[in-house]
Structure 1
Amino acid sequence: MSKLLVVSDNHGDQQILTKILHQFGDQVDYRFHNGDSELSIDSPLVQQFNIVKGNMDFEDFPLENVVNIGDDVVYQTHGHLKNVNQSPLNLELTARSVSANIALFGHTHQLMCTMDGSLLLVNPGSISQPRGEFQMIGGTFCIVDVSTQKFIVDYYDRDLNLVPSLHFQFDR
């Protein structure tokens, strides 16, 4: 089993990333930042994440990553170039084209967790500037448990508390 920490859209708030890493960094196998970090490329925080460039990042981060985790493949992008505000379709097609079974993105500032066939799509929401239905939580990130039988996705708030109503489990 692998554990993935997924965060996005902190928009320069380095303190929250440090807090999350301090609490959960050693409990996970992989750490993903889905863009709009607004961090300097030489920030020590950047070295802690598989990070992609968002529309508000000006450093030379990659626009997308493909990460092999055992038999699983993670496709990661911010999402602005895939038009995720309108539809996840372009994201899904790109993820499938690289044989990914997990697609991570951000940009919308709205959390999302769904399974489309064999593809898990996860947006952790914005940790600093949330929007939409779960805005009142005040910012979210998630941890994805990956096993051969299932995906389990748990969301946490800015105070690092588990949000029980945002627990998702999908059989594979």
Structure 2
Amino acid sequence: MKLLIFSDSHCRTELMNRLADKYKTVINGIIHLGDCTEDVSELYNICSNIPIYQVRGNNDYDNSCPAERTINISGHTIFMTHGHRQRVYYDTTSLYYAAAQNGSDIALFGHTHVPYLQNEGGIIVMNPGSISLPRSSKEKTFAFLTFENGKTEAAIMSAENEVVKKIFSLHI
């Protein structure tokens, strides 16, 4: 089971759509962590048979899309949020507690446009960074979550100049 994860596309969808098209034969789901929810409509056309999960961000005004969401995949409980409500610019403590409160072992967020990956008290906390407007470097980033043979890999990927490379990963 492999999930492709994006955040903070901000209506700049060309790279996100190319990556979805490139990986659609090897992924089992797509997650978009907000800013901008309307960008996901193109993903439904590209990956019509793949489930897509999304939450809204601080720049999204579509109230039909939840601000937080919990999904269960491959025996894992995944808490999804954009992160602005948990004040992730300062630290991930509120995010960690929100995930722990509902029994999640993975917490995904966006908002900062900066990739982040840590194991915090047994919870994988990950921000894929921004697929269109990175802040920590010039590299546009996204992520994969892979569940295989009882093992989990969370990986942050760079997608610059048509070259995809792993920046860092965490194995559980």
TM range (shorter): 0.7 to 0.9
Contact in 1 for aligned 2:143/2:155 (Cα 8 Å): yes
Residue 106 (structure 1) aligned with residue 110 (structure 2): yes
Which of 71, 75, 89 matches 2:75?
71
Once the two structures are superposed, the pairs formed by residues 121-132 of structure 1 within 5 Å of their partners are: 121-132=125-136
Deviation at 1:21, TM superposition (A): 1.2
Deviation at 1:46, TM superposition (A): 5.7
Look up the SS of the partner of 2:133 in the other structure: coil
Contact in 1 for aligned 2:81/2:109 (Cα 8 Å): yes
How far apart, CA to CA, are the structure 2 residues paired with 1:16 and 1:59? 23
Output the TM-score relative to the length of structure 2: 0.86
Look up the SS of the partner of 2:138 in the other structure: helix
Contact in 2 for aligned 1:40/1:59 (Cα 8 Å): no
- Return closer, same or farther for 1:108/1:46 CA change in 2, 3 Å cut-off: farther
Look up the SS of the partner of 1:94 in the other structure: helix
User: What runs of 5+ residues in structure 1 fail to find an aligned partner?
Assistant: none
Correspondence for 1:57: 60
Amino acid at match of 2:90: Q
Deviation at 1:162, TM superposition (A): 2.9
Which of 115, 120, 123 matches 1:116?
120
How far apart, CA to CA, are the structure 1 residues paired with 2:13 and 2:152? 32
- Return closer, same or farther for 1:92/1:52 CA change in 2, 3 Å cut-off: same
How far apart, CA to CA, are the structure 2 residues paired with 1:74 and 1:31? 13
Aligned residues: 165
How far apart, CA to CA, are the structure 2 residues paired with 1:35 and 1:152? 19
Contact in 1 for aligned 2:37/2:55 (Cα 8 Å): no
Correspondence for 1:91: 95
Residue-by-residue CA offset, 1:23-55 (whole Å, 9 max, x unaligned): 1122111210000025178x3436862111000
How far apart, CA to CA, are the structure 2 residues paired with 1:57 and 1:100? 25
How far apart, CA to CA, are the structure 1 residues paired with 2:156 and 2:111? 19
How far apart, CA to CA, are the structure 2 residues paired with 1:160 and 1:98? 38
Look up the SS of the partner of 1:45 in the other structure: helix
Correspondence for 1:168: 169
